Structure 1
Amino acid sequence: MDGSVSNVEICNLAYAGHLEQLKALILTDKSLATKTDQDNRTALHWACSAGYKDIVDFLLNLGVPVDPTDDVSWTPLHIAASAGREEIVRVLISKGAQVNAVNQNGCSPLHYAASRNRYEIASMLLENGADPNIPDNIHSTPLHRAAAKGNFHMAQLLLKHRASTNLQDLEGNTPLHLACDEERDEEAKLLVENGASIYIENKEEKTPLQVAKGGLGLQLRRIVEGSN
């Protein structure tokens, strides 16, 4: 292939940012605006991926669906959130994109914003009804991801929007287990200050205190004792 991302010309034009050529093609055949390629992606998916807001605006103003799903159930909003396209996320939400749509991995757009530390995008999603407690296929929530990655301000934002601190993934780990295991000390303290239990056991029958390294366990215990 010639470096193109798609077997459909309109999708390649969207990904490359060629608005005028894309417009000209769609004027000859309106059905191209929603034509799907080998990944079941439309021009809207590809414009969101590459960050071309002018093409996104053009397509949405034509009336194309805002939430088409590709072959693994990613919507344009999933793609824009994951890629860090703030302005496009704003436009998609304004057009009614489903903020709690989940893909084949069970992930919502917020999962990707949290793990990739897209703070402004996460904030937009949460302010427009994103649920911070949706579990993915391994029962990991956005807070699990933020805690494991050491995204402190993201964890703060999620907690402010009522993210639950004590949900367990399929391994029985809470966000606190992950923060302790990854030596994310500040995130671990933040979680305990916001109600995370130091006593919940994971599948290996270990509490966050037993997973903690260095002096972190003692610091966490002091936070709990100080709040009682």
Structure 2
Amino acid sequence: MDGSVSNVEICDFAYKGEFDKVKECILKDKTLAFKTDQDHRTALHWACSAGHADIVHFLLDLGVEVNLQDDANWTPLHIAASAGREDIVRSLISKGAQLNSVNQNGCTALHYAASKDRYEIALMLLENGADPNVMDKLQATPLHRASTKGNCRLIQLLLKQSASTNIQDSEGNTPLHLACDEERVEAAKLLVEHGASIYIENKEEKTPLQISRGSLGTILRRIVEG
């Protein structure tokens, strides 16, 4: 190595998991740890993406900015949560990662954990102060995300952490509307058991009951009627 490594190359080494190269380059030129590529991502963003915990720990110990946003406002925490990198999420949180930082879509790391069924990561985020009711640009909460996908353990976790069942997104849909529309029967039952209304109308003036198909409407009505 001659030391003449570019910002793009150091990011590439980090993504490929070439720890020895990353370490050697940065120990020769510490500024490389803080340089960004054309996507405004640092080596830390790329190591989080690919799940290289050794590189992540090395960079964090050097004092790399943990909350730096890329050109789409994704932080390393967004990336690690979305990619399902539990150990890395834990490390980022311990170094002061902002849990409620939002990207261009208004999403937090918890939105991605909820939609991708990353239970352990969602639990970590919530236990450390992530907001369960934060809304993205479409006014969808993590509970909307989990309900659309029918991620029942995630739904239970969010409800336990005071997620609101009846928040409406930009289309007027509650999480229950979305669960019913996608025929997520267990998710819909869970929501109604925790106070989700079957009578709230969305912008098309439809209630969750009206968009329920098959026997789902009957099941939900029975839960409400006790």
TM-score (norm 1): 0.95
**Quick one: percent identity of the two aligned structures?**
74
Q: Which amino acid aligns with 1:120?
A: E
Q: Which amino acid aligns with 1:78?
A: H
**Equivalent residue pairs, number:** 221
Give the deviation of 1:221 after TM superposition. 1.0
Moved over 4 A (4+): none
Q: Which amino acid aligns with 1:18?
A: E
Q: Which amino acid aligns with 1:118?
A: R
1:71-82 aligned within 5 A: 71-82=71-82
Give the deviation of 1:27 after TM superposition. 1.6
Q: Distance in 1 between matches of 2:206 and 2:7?
A: 50
Q: Distance in 2 between matches of 1:52 and 1:118?
A: 18
C-alpha contact 2:81 2:113 (8 A) present in aligned 1: yes
Give the deviation of 1:84 after TM superposition. 0.3
Q: Distance in 2 between matches of 1:162 and 1:116?
A: 20
Corresponding residue of 2:108: 108
Corresponding residue of 1:215: 215
Give the deviation of 1:7 after TM superposition. 6.8
Q: Which amino acid aligns with 2:42?
A: T
Q: Distance in 2 between matches of 1:7 and 1:100?
A: 28
Q: Distance in 2 between matches of 1:117 and 1:139?
A: 20
Corresponding residue of 2:3: none
Matched, 1:53 2:56: no
Corresponding residue of 2:197: 197
Corresponding residue of 1:84: 84
Say which is worse superposed, 217-226 or 47-56, in terms of deviation.
Answer: 217-226
Q: Which amino acid aligns with 2:64?
A: V
Give the deviation of 1:219 after TM superposition. 1.1
Deviations 1:6-54 (A, max 9, x none): 9711100100111111111112211100100000000000000000000
- How well do the aligned residues superpose, as a CA RMSD in angstroms? 1.0
Corresponding residue of 1:3: none
Q: Which amino acid aligns with 2:22?
A: L
Give the deviation of 1:134 after TM superposition. 0.5
Q: Which amino acid aligns with 2:216?
A: L
Q: Which amino acid aligns with 1:152?
A: C
Q: Distance in 2 between matches of 1:94 and 1:115?
A: 24
Aligned residue for 2:112, secondary structure, equals: helix
Corresponding residue of 1:169: 169
Deviations 1:118-152 (A, max 9, x none): 00000000000010111100011110111110101
Q: Which amino acid aligns with 1:218?
A: T
Q: Distance in 2 between matches of 1:127 and 1:133?
A: 14
Q: Distance in 2 between matches of 1:132 and 1:73?
A: 20
TM-score (norm 2): 0.96
Aligned residue for 2:186, secondary structure, equals: helix
C-alpha contact 2:179 2:185 (8 A) present in aligned 1: yes
Matched, 1:117 2:117: yes
Q: Distance in 1 between matches of 2:7 and 2:53?
A: 22
Corresponding residue of 1:136: 136
Deviations 1:133-192 (A, max 9, x none): 111000111101111101011100000001000000111000000000000011101000
Q: Distance in 1 between matches of 2:42 and 2:36?
A: 5
Corresponding residue of 1:35: 35
Corresponding residue of 2:225: 225
Q: Distance in 2 between matches of 1:64 and 1:144?
A: 34
C-alpha contact 2:107 2:137 (8 A) present in aligned 1: yes
Q: Distance in 1 between matches of 2:7 and 2:63?
A: 23
